[in-house]
A and B are shown apart, each in its own frame.
Chain A
Amino acid sequence: KNEVEQSPQNLTAQEGEFITINCSYSVGISALHWLQQHPGGGIVSLFMLSSGKKKHGRLIATINIQEKHSSLHITASHPRDSAVYICAVRIQGAQKLVFGQGTRLTINP
């Protein structure tokens, strides 16, 4: 079993829908990252969080440390949000990140 599991693996929605992508992990962590990989292949960091909630534009990330779970929400989704979203965790005491397999999101106009 992977230390970081994302769901769903694939998600297709219509423009304007509210999107939720989930990340569960099985180890103690000191931080969790959400990344976005565009169809062209480039990877950008969206959020790094260790507690609570962060918001950037239409994107919201939440984390529940006790439940070992994080969610990435997209409000008023748009076709340009189509990408692979990747969750990664920094395990407590470690200097490296462990990645989930990603969620492929497609937003249709």
Chain B
Amino acid sequence: NAGVTQTPKFQVLKTGQSMTLQCAQDMNHEYMSWYRQDPGMGLRLIHYSVGAGITDQGEVPNGYNVSRSTTEDFPLRLLSAAPSQTSVYFCASNKRQGAGPGEQYFGPGTRLTVT
């Protein structure tokens, strides 16, 4: 199993450009999430999904869109990049355990710089 994969690893965008961060998992996990990590802020949830076709907003959803058309893939779209979106982005997946997410598996991260 490859686990959770993310592409690209690094990206530089100009303000106003759009792009999609890709995330895929091959563990048949129901839950998938996108986080951003900024210095001194910890991990913050952007969007999450509890299954194919179901997504919901997290703590910092503005400026980002997601969709979950398959169990495996959960892309994150930046609609019009802003310097405030400079961050490290992590995708994670979890198998359902009980009524909610179980152990988390993280992708390697994408370091995004917006100039």
Q: Which residues of A contact B101 (CB under 8 A)?
A: 90, 95-97
Which residues from chain A contact B40 at a C-beta distance below 8 Å? 101
Cβ-defined contact, A96 with B58, below 8 A: yes
Specify which chain A residues have a CB less than 8 angstroms from the CB of B63 in the assembled complex.
none
Secondary structure of the A contact surface, majority rule: strand
**Inter-chain contacts of B33 with A (CB < 8 A):** 96-97
Q: How far is the CB of A24 from chain B (nearest CB, A)?
A: 15
Residue interface bits A22-49, CB-to-B below 8 A is 1, else 0: 0000000011010100000111110010
Measured as residues with beta carbon below 8 angstroms from the partner, the interface class of chain A is 20 to 34
Inter-chain contact A35/B42, CB cutoff 8 Å: no
Interface check B66, CB cutoff 8 A: no
Contacting pair B31 A30 (CB below 8 A) = no
Beta-carbon contacts of B65-109 to A below 8 Å, as 1s and 0s? Answer: 000000000000000000000001010100001111111111011
Distance from A49 Cβ to chain B, minimum over Cβ atoms (Å): 11
Contact flag A43-B106 (CB < 8 Å), given A96-B33, A99-B43, A102-B42: yes
Chain A residues engaging chain B, CB cutoff 8 angstroms: 30-31, 33, 35, 41-45, 48, 86, 88, 90, 94-102
9 A-B pairs with the lowest CB-CB distances in the bound complex, closest first: A43-B106, A101-B42, A99-B43, A99-B42, A45-B103, A45-B104, A48-B103, A41-B109, A90-B100
